[in-house]
Structure 1
């Protein structure tokens, strides 16, 4: 693709409008710094880190790259004020927030010189982000892995609708792993893309090797969006998933769902490699990911595919 600046590259001072999703248990300093060093925007995933671990990852990322990087902060997690304080103390300049009210921290963070992007799954919430004054909006389709929206709106439907209602830089997320998909998202109105699943299956991702190998074995239909009663999440249909689904046979009992979820199920699956009893979060696009490669190779493939996409006259 052209290195000409657009809204996203100009905002974050990066070479390519490619943002790496701040995925829990995947997005440590190695992945974030590698993405930034290759011209994108790397994000450290604070959602799976205790505050001291987050600080360590920020410091190591600063040592590993002189390029811009940021931190992804799901606002539903505990220790939120402490996490924000660490981000400020360590001089991070970019933050992506999700799963909460964008008004909560946006003004405070911007006064400290940070650029703030917020992740949404609907046009309604994108408009609320615009009203809250965020610097960029990530519109994430139903295809995405991990925590997701309840409306099940696909990226192809979401992006053009959001584009009609906002003026801020728009970043498309959900179902993007190929350069052709990136170009399609930008044709629909996105200024850039956020990619998660493709970066989950890289050498630099901090997730367990067994989980990475599981990702590249997945096919269409191997993931499903569930747990709408709590916080919708797309996960692999393994034993843990089916144990959850059995609870629906006796009704939608929220307390039973919480008890089955227990604690640290996602860590058990994606970080420790328990492919049966752990929670395995990944997007539908995993069916297109068939090899574990380096971040550098991901960028090479994305850019090559993007440039090779042909347009056809009717």
Structure 2
């Protein structure tokens, strides 16, 4: 079972410390969330800095709100990050649930799912090196993989799960492990129905905080603020003890997950070492 870390958003200058410690530890991936109307660092820029400060660990958007971005520029940005990181980018894509992010950039919230479906052939065409259209030639740089970086989709509705089979390499579940099984099984069903070879990569995510009471309180305040606008519509779940984290990792493994992302909300970088010791 691979285990990655989701990076905190409350103290951007500390993220390079997090990155170097994680790169020296047992972790496989570092992830970063995406918002517009919030006090968080922009993920593609931040992950580029993290890639430069590390040598082996993967970097992942968890998840990038793709409908907020122009697809040609996004394709170029992701290919660039993939190349300069030596093929370490995993692009997680989602649509988000907050209308204010769409209002901020003048995008249509109601058609955000359709927007992703329209963007995907553009991204794939550019990453494969084909001309953009009849008037515009190929757009580089070429990503490390011919068809682009590894691509995960997040989401809970049937349309999101179908996108995994049509366009993706795998699925990221951001709900508690107790509610993940039907989502994983539906992804596998859609994958088979689409005639895809092999199997979809399955990734679980759990919010964690490990440390003294001050760390746990910092995490609870930060995650509470982040999800405040979704109160009553999103189940904010966090595990805060070593036993709970181990049990959650085992639970995802039993469901067939390939990786579990431990998303950290408190800014204390000593959590990296505590979590590494837990895994050991």
TM-score range, shorter chain: 0.5 to 0.7
Q: 1:43 deviation in Å? A: 2.4
1:121 alignment partner, SS class? coil
Task: Let me know the Cα RMSD of the aligned residues.
Answer: 3.5
Q: 1:171 deviation in Å? A: 0.9
1:135 to 169, 172, 176: 169
1:68 to 49, 57, 63: 57
CA contact (8 A) 2:169 2:200 kept: yes
Q: 1:19 deviation in Å? A: 2.9
Q: 1:62 deviation in Å? A: 2.9
Q: 1:110 deviation in Å? A: 5.2
1:104 alignment partner, SS class? helix
Aligned CA distance change for structure 1 residues 17 and 96 (closer, same or farther; 3 Å): same
2:247 to 180, 199, 209: 180
1:118 alignment partner, SS class? strand
> Is residue 202 of structure 2 the alignment partner of residue 170 of structure 1?
yes
Compare relative contact order (CA 8 Å, sep 6+) and give the higher one, 1 or 2. 2
CA contact (8 A) 2:10 2:267 kept: no
Aligned CA distance change for structure 1 residues 29 and 87 (closer, same or farther; 3 Å): farther
Aligned CA distance change for structure 1 residues 66 and 179 (closer, same or farther; 3 Å): same
2:119 alignment partner, SS class? coil
Q: 1:37 deviation in Å? A: 3.4
2:256 to 157, 167, 189: 189
> Is residue 145 of structure 2 the alignment partner of residue 118 of structure 1?
no
Tell me the distance in 2 between the aligned counterparts of 1:136 and 1:202.
Answer: 29
Aligned partner of 1:150 in structure 2 is none
Aligned CA distance change for structure 1 residues 82 and 107 (closer, same or farther; 3 Å): closer
Deviation by residue 1:167-218 (Cα, 9 ceiling, x = unmatched): 311112245750211111110222222222xx222523xxxxxxxxxxxxxx
CA contact (8 A) 1:29 1:44 kept: no
2:274 alignment partner, SS class? helix
Tell me the distance in 1 between the aligned counterparts of 2:154 and 2:92.
Answer: 7
Q: Where in structure 2 are there 5+ consecutive unaligned residues?
A: 96-112, 129-142, 192-198, 207-236, 240-244
Q: Where in structure 1 are there 5+ consecutive unaligned residues?
A: 1-15, 145-152, 205-292, 305-314
Tell me the distance in 1 between the aligned counterparts of 2:170 and 2:52.
Answer: 27
Q: Which portions of structure 1, spanning 4 or more consecutive aligned residues, are displaced by more than 6 angstroms?
A: none
CA contact (8 A) 1:30 1:61 kept: no
Aligned partner of 2:119 in structure 1 is 104
Tell me the distance in 2 between the aligned counterparts of 1:104 and 1:22.
Answer: 27
Aligned residue pair count: 185
Tell me the distance in 2 between the aligned counterparts of 1:35 and 1:22.
Answer: 10
Tell me the distance in 1 between the aligned counterparts of 2:70 and 2:80.
Answer: 15
> Is residue 183 of structure 2 the alignment partner of residue 158 of structure 1?
yes
Q: Given the two structures, how large is their TM-score scaled by the length of structure 2?
A: 0.53
